Amino acid sequence: MFILLVAIVIFLALLGMPLFAAILAIAMLGFHYADIDLMVIAIDLYRIIQTPLLEAIPLFTFAGYLLSASQSSKRLVRVTQAVLGWMPGGLAIVALIACALFTAFTGASGVTIVALGALLYPALQQAGYQQRFSLGLVTTSGSLGLLFPPSLPLILFGVIALQMETPVGMTIEQLLVAGIVPGLLMIAMLSAWSMWTQGKQAASTQAFSFQELIESFKDAKWEIPLPAILLGGIYSGYFALSEAAVVTVIYLLIVEVFLYKDIKLKQIPDLLTDAMIMVGGILIILSCSLVLTSYFIEIDAPTTLFDWITQHIESQLSFLIMLNLFLLILGAFLDIFSAIVIMVPLILPIAMSFGVHPVHLGIVFLANMQIGYMTPPVGMNLFIASYRFSRPITEIYRSTVGFMVVLLLSLVIITYWPDLSLLFVE
């Protein structure tokens, strides 16, 4: 009966039942059939307020909404175009870097496709890049920034991992810096592939202009220092991550509202409301997922899963291969926040038993998730791009194939060369 009811809940979720309701329903059914008092659910839901660094999530989310509502995307594209636009394939590299940076600060790849897609897709077309290539580039670039600080998924992975009883041996600050080199590797490989496949189009680039370089830096002079302030403050120990989130919000309010005047004061309440609606969605999924995680622990699911894996998998290499395949499929069907909250408590102890460093696991996990965003048939970014550019979903599928292959190759390197992720981890 329990399995039948769970199957019904999953079926309803596929038909559109809210994800948090499906997660909570499965947990409630599990506790009921395990003859455990359902009061434990209220206790687990209450645990959300005890989550370390929880305040950083709404603050960084609000900061992302401020950037999305301003003209920072245009200034960012102008700067990268002035710096790199003269290179062969420069506009493609500009698109990759601009989208990655924008996603890192907004925390949502779909927002990047919508916000920067309108700017970059026509520009790529006008520069003579093939239509299919342009579609694939913008769709793929939307999720690249998930490995760069202050990525919300990186923070959430650390928050969940640090709540576990397993001796994790990492900090969120280590996670934030660990994604920089793997993220740059992905951008570099995609840039090289773009230059190789678009040789004729890449040859027609703009001439380098020192004056335009100076003007673009002047135009973005208040936004360019933000990453240095954020990372410098965190890694110098001057302020903690939650304090960095406060500094980021205050800085952006001053810059975007009073200096650039892109955002009017009367817009702030609406932006704050929209941001907190998104945060509310994240937190309710997080809290319900914590309840489901408690059920898994109650029935000893991690130990059962560990026993099964150790019977069938003998080496770290085999485990990582299986993990990549599983996470790629998971990333295509489940949003990244739910995937982190549900799967990290199950995967982390097993990965550590195979000698996988928790920081390395976090980067591998998120690298898979960002590729999952564009994995057919149901990767979220594929549908966002189809809607945004009014193209059939099958055309979007075809346009991303080459980019997917390059990203999968980069994933192999990131997975089996852990020093890339652990370069700055003491």
What residue spans define the domains of the chain? 37-422
**Residue 183 and residue 410: Cα distance in Å, rounded?**
9
Residue 50 has pLDDT above 70, yes or no: no
Q: Which of 86, 31, 76, 84 is nearest to 216 (CA)?
A: 76
pLDDT in tens, 162-189: 777 666 677 888 888 888 899 999 999 9
pTM of the model: 0.78
Tell me the C-alpha distance between 185 and 40, whole Å.
Answer: 45
Mean pLDDT for the chain overall: 80
Please count the other Cβ atoms lying within 10 Å of the Cβ belonging to residue 119. Answer: 16
- The C-alpha atoms of residue 192 and residue 173 are separated, in whole angstroms, by 30
Q: Residue 151, class by beta-carbon neighbours within 10 Å (0-12 exposed, 13-18 middle, 19+ buried)?
A: buried
**Neighbouring C-alpha atoms within 13 Å toward the C-beta of 303:** 4
Cα 125 to Cα 105: distance, rounded to the nearest angstrom? 27
> Which conformational region is residue 149 in: left (phi greater than 0), alpha (psi within -120 to 50 degrees), or beta?
beta
pLDDT digits 0-9 by tens, 237-261: 677 777 888 888 899 899 999 988 8
CB neighbours of residue 9 within 10 Å: 19
Residues 6 or more apart in contact with residue 79 via CB below 8 angstroms: 216, 217, 219, 220, 224
- pLDDT for residue 360: 92
Give the tens place of pLDDT for each residue, 6-37. 677 767 766 667 767 877 888 888 888 878 88
Q: What percent of the chain has pLDDT over 90?
A: 8
Model confidence at 228, pLDDT cuts 50, 70, 90, reads confident
How many whole angstroms separate alpha carbon 102 and alpha carbon 95?
10
